[in-house]
Chain A
Amino acid sequence: MSLLDVHDLSVRFDTDDGTVHAVDGLSFSLEEREVLGVVGESGCGKSVSAMSLLQLLPETAHVTGSAQFDGLDLLAAPTSKLRDIRGRKIAFVFQEPMTSLNPSFRIGNQLSEVLQRHLGLGRTAARKRAIELLDLVRIPAPERRIQEYPHQLSGGMRQRVMIAIALACDPKILIADEPTTALDVTIQAGILDLMRDIRERLGTAIVLITHNLGVVADIADRVIVMYAGRKVEEAPVRELYAHPQHPYTIGLLGAIPRPGAADEQGRLREIPGRVPSLAELPAACAFAPRCPRADEQTRSQRPELAEVRPAHLVACFHPGRNGDRA
C-alpha cells in the first residue's frame, strides 16, 4: 500500500473570467522514503495540487477526487481532522521564505508553536527541541537564532527554518513547493544537500515541486511531468532523463543550458508558443499547439496515460524520441 494515493484530483477556480481548470484528473502515488519530483512550468498546476492535499486553497477553489493517506481521504476530511495532520504527518514548505514567516514573532516561538500544538511539549522541552531542529538543518549558533526575528536572517537561513518547522514533528511526508526558487544558486545546493540528508536520516518521503530539471535530477527517485494541469509523463528519474517520451519533456530537457549543447547559432533551444489559458480546456492534447508532432489526432482527441516502457507512463499519441520505443 502506498503512503499517499491520489486519484483523479481536479481543482477548479471560479473567477470573473470564467472557470479556470488548474488541475485536471491528476493521479499519482507516493511510497515511503521516496522522493517524488513534480516538474512543470509556472501555472501547470503543481503547487495547486499540492496545496489541495492539505485543503490550503482559498474558498473559491472546488476540489474533486480523492487522496488516501493513512486510511483517510484528505480531500473529503473535515478541517478539524486535517488540522491534526497538517504539520504533524504531512508538512509543507512554501516557496517564499521571505514572507512565509511571521515578522512579529521570534524564530523560537514559531518553532515551538508546532511542537506545543502537536506534541504537547512544555516551554522548556520545546525550546530544547527547537535548538536541536535548527542544528539539524545546519543553522549555526542555534541558541542565538532562537531569539531572533525573521528579518534578521538571510533568505537561505529562513528557508532552513521553514524546513526545520516542517520537520519538527517528524512527518511522514514533506511537501516542498519550489523550495529553492527564491534563493541564489549557491544557496540552492545547500538546501538540496539538506533534503537529501533528511531523507537519509529521517526516512521522510518528499514531494519536491519545481520547474528546475537540474534540481530534480539531483535528488528525485521518480518524476512526474505536468502540463496545463494534467500529468503528461511519469517515470523513474534516470529513465526519464535517458529516454524522455513526451515531446514536452524532450523539449524541456533540450532547453537546459549546457556547455556545448547550443545549436549552430549559439542560442538556447526553447519550446515555441505559450502555455494555454487554463480557462478553455481543449478536448484534445493540451500540448498540441506547440508540438512539432501535432496532427489531426492530437488536435481532436485527448491522449490517455499509457505505459510505453517499463514503469514509464506517458500521455501522448506520438511518444518517444525517434527510434526509442520499447
Chain B
Amino acid sequence: MGGFLLRKVGAALIVLVLASMLVFIGVRAIPGDPAIALGAENRDPAVLAAIRHKYGLDKPVPVQYLNWASLAVRGDLGRDQRELSVAHTIVQRLPITLELAGLAILIGSLIGIVAGVLAAVRRGKAEDYAATSVALVGLSVPHFWLGIVMIIYFAVRLHWLPAGGYVPFSEDPIQNLEHMLMPAIVLGTGLSAVLMRQMRSSMLGALGADYVRTARAKGLSERSVIGKHALRNSLITVTTVIGLQLGALISGAVITEQIFVIPGFGRLTIDAVNQRDYTLLQGVVLVAAAGYVIVNLLVDVAYSLLNPRIRIAGANR
C-alpha cells in the first residue's frame, strides 16, 4: 500500500510540474503585450522597457519560468496589476468557492444518489421514468441559464432570496446560506444528474449480480439485499465519479460566481483574463490545476481504500 501511494503521489507531482509549465507558456501566448497592461496603457518605449525590466519580462522564458516556479513553490505567486499579492487574494477568495462547491456537492450527491437508487430499485416503473427524465433535464439545462431563471423568479419576482452578493459565514450564517443557496443548487444540478445516472447504472449492475442472488437465497430482507449488498458496491463507483466531476464543478463555479456576483475564486479567473493580468491569471490557473490534481489523488486513494480488491492483494488467480 505504501509503494502504491508513493507512486501515485510521484505521478501527481510530475503532472503538476508539467501543468505549471503549460500554464506559464499558455499565459505568455495570450496576445497583447503584458508590459502595456502593467504600465496602465502607457506606451512610451522607455517606460515599457523599464516595466519589462522590473517584472523580468526581458529575460528568456525558461529563466522567467524558473524564477516564477521557485517563488511559487514557496507560496509567493507574485503581485497582480494592482500590486496586491496574488497569493493573498487567492487565499481570501478560495474558501468562498470551496464553501460553494461543498454545498453543491452536498446537495448534488444527496439528490443524485437517492434518485439513482430509487430509479434502479423501481426499474421500469413510474419512479424510474420520473427520475431519469429529471436527470436528463438536469444534464441538458445550461446551468448558467438556470441561475438567471432562478434569479428572475426567486429573487426578482418573489423576493425570497437575494439576487446575488455574498455575506461571510462568520458575519451572519443565515444570510450567508441565503446567498449561497441558489448558486449551490445551480452548481449541484449538473452533478446530481450525472450521479443519478451513474448510481442507477451501478445499482442495476449490482442488483443483477450473482452475489445479490446469493443474498436473496440466504433469505435476507430486501432492505438488506439492496441497502447492504448492492449499495456498497455501487457507492464505490459513484465516489470516483464525484471526484471526476470536480473539474466540471470548478468550471461551473466560474460562471455561477459571475452570475450571482460572488467574490470567489472562479470570478478571479474571468477578471484576470479580461484585465490581461497575467501574473494573477498564472497564479489562479496554477492553483486550480493543483487543486484538481490533489483531488484526483485523493479520489484514487479513497477508491483503493474502499475497494478491498485493490487494498489487499488476492490469491494467485
Q: Is A–B contact present in the complex under a CB 8 A cutoff? A: yes
Compute how far the CA of A44 lies from the CA of B213 in the bound complex, rounded to whole angstroms: 21
Q: How many residues of A contact B (CB 8 A)?
A: 33
| Residue pair A87, B218 in contact (C-beta under 8 Å) | yes
| Residue pair A103, B211 in contact (C-beta under 8 Å) | yes
Partner of A114, one of B219, B309, B312: B219
Task: For B230, give the chain A residue with the smallest CB separation.
Answer: A102
Say yes or no: A83-B219 contact (C-beta < 8 A), given A104-B233, A105-B232, A152-B315. yes
For window 59-91 of chain A, which residues contact chain B by CB distance below 8 Å?
82-88, 91
Chain A hits for B217, CB < 8 A: 54, 56, 86-87, 91-92, 94
| Residue pair B219, A151 in contact (C-beta under 8 Å) | no
Chain A hits for B53, CB < 8 A: none
Compute how far the CA of A152 lies from the CA of B317 in the bound complex, rounded to whole angstroms: 9
Question: B59 at interface (Cβ–Cβ under 8 A)?
Answer: no
Question: Contact flags (1/0) for B288-316 with A, using CB distance below 8 Å?
Answer: 00000000000000000001110011110
- What 10 A-B pairs have minimum CB-CB distances, sorted nearest first? A86-B219, A87-B219, A87-B218, A151-B314, A99-B210, A102-B211, A92-B217, A149-B308, A100-B210, A83-B219
Chain B hits for A187, CB < 8 A: none
| Residue pair A151, B309 in contact (C-beta under 8 Å) | yes
Question: A26 at interface (Cβ–Cβ under 8 A)?
Answer: no
Say yes or no: A102-B216 contact (C-beta < 8 A), given A152-B314, A154-B315. no
Compute how far the CA of A84 lies from the CA of B106 in the bound complex, rounded to whole angstroms: 39
Chain B hits for A54, CB < 8 A: 217
Residue from B209, B211, B220 having most chain A Cβ neighbours under 10 A:
B211
Question: Contact flags (1/0) for A130-164 with B, using CB distance below 8 Å?
Answer: 00000000000000000011011111000000100
Chain B hits for A87, CB < 8 A: 217-220
Question: B214 at interface (Cβ–Cβ under 8 A)?
Answer: yes
Task: For A86, give the chain B residue with the smallest CB separation.
Answer: B219
Question: A221 at interface (Cβ–Cβ under 8 A)?
Answer: no
Question: Chain B: residues with CB nearer than 8 A to chain A?
Answer: 209-211, 213-221, 224, 229, 232-233, 236, 307-309, 312-315, 317
Question: Contact flags (1/0) for A18-55 with B, using CB distance below 8 Å?
Answer: 00000000000000000000000000000000000010
Chain B nearest CB, measured from A160 CB (Å) = 14
Question: A5 at interface (Cβ–Cβ under 8 A)?
Answer: no
Compute how far the CA of A56 lies from the CA of B309 in the bound complex, rounded to whole angstroms: 28
For window 91-125 of chain A, which residues contact chain B by CB distance below 8 Å?
91-92, 94, 96, 99-105, 113-114, 117-118
| Residue pair A104, B232 in contact (C-beta under 8 Å) | yes
Chain A nearest CB, measured from B228 CB (Å) = 8
Chain B hits for A206, CB < 8 A: none
Chain A hits for B215, CB < 8 A: 102
Compute how far the CA of A91 lies from the CA of B315 in the bound complex, rounded to whole angstroms: 27
Partner of A117, one of B213, B219, B315: B219
Chain B nearest CB, measured from A94 CB (Å) = 6
17 extra interchain contacts, Cβ-Cβ under 8 A, other than A86-B217, A92-B214, A102-B215? A54-B217, A56-B213, A83-B221, A85-B219, A86-B218, A91-B217, A92-B217, A100-B211, A101-B214, A105-B229, A113-B220, A113-B224, A114-B220, A117-B220, A151-B312, A152-B312, A165-B214
Say yes or no: A100-B213 contact (C-beta < 8 A), given A151-B308, A151-B309. yes
User: Can you report 22 residue pairs joining A to B where beta carbons are below 8 Å apart?
Assistant: A54-B217, A83-B219, A83-B221, A85-B219, A86-B218, A86-B219, A87-B218, A94-B214, A101-B214, A102-B211, A105-B229, A114-B220, A117-B219, A148-B312, A149-B308, A149-B312, A151-B308, A151-B314, A152-B312, A153-B315, A154-B315, A154-B317
Chain B hits for A152, CB < 8 A: 312-315
Chain B hits for A85, CB < 8 A: 219
| Residue pair B211, A99 in contact (C-beta under 8 Å) | yes
Partner of B229, one of A82, A102, A155: A102
Compute how far the CA of A181 lies from the CA of B213 in the bound complex, rounded to whole angstroms: 18
| Residue pair B314, A99 in contact (C-beta under 8 Å) | no
| Residue pair A94, B219 in contact (C-beta under 8 Å) | no
Chain A hits for B229, CB < 8 A: 102, 105
Compute how far the CA of A155 lies from the CA of B317 in the bound complex, rounded to whole angstroms: 9
Chain B hits for A118, CB < 8 A: 219
Say yes or no: A151-B315 contact (C-beta < 8 A), given A83-B221, A117-B219. yes
Chain B hits for A56, CB < 8 A: 213, 216-217
Task: For B306, give the chain A residue with the smallest CB separation.
Answer: A104
Residue from B219, B220, B229, B309 having most chain A Cβ neighbours under 10 A:
B219
Task: For A54, give the chain B residue with the smallest CB separation.
Answer: B217
Compute how far the CA of A270 lies from the CA of B181 in the bound complex, rounded to whole angstroms: 73
Chain A hits for B211, CB < 8 A: 99-103
Question: Contact flags (1/0) for A194-207 with B, using CB distance below 8 Å?
Answer: 00000000000000
Compute how far the CA of A96 lies from the CA of B313 in the bound complex, rounded to whole angstroms: 21
Say yes or no: A88-B219 contact (C-beta < 8 A), given A99-B209, A102-B229, A151-B315. yes
Compute how far the CA of A96 lies from the CA of B308 in the bound complex, rounded to whole angstroms: 20
Compute how far the CA of A64 lies from the CA of B116 in the bound complex, rounded to whole angstroms: 34
Residue from B210, B218, B220, B221 having most chain A Cβ neighbours under 10 A:
B218
Chain A nearest CB, measured from B109 CB (Å) = 20
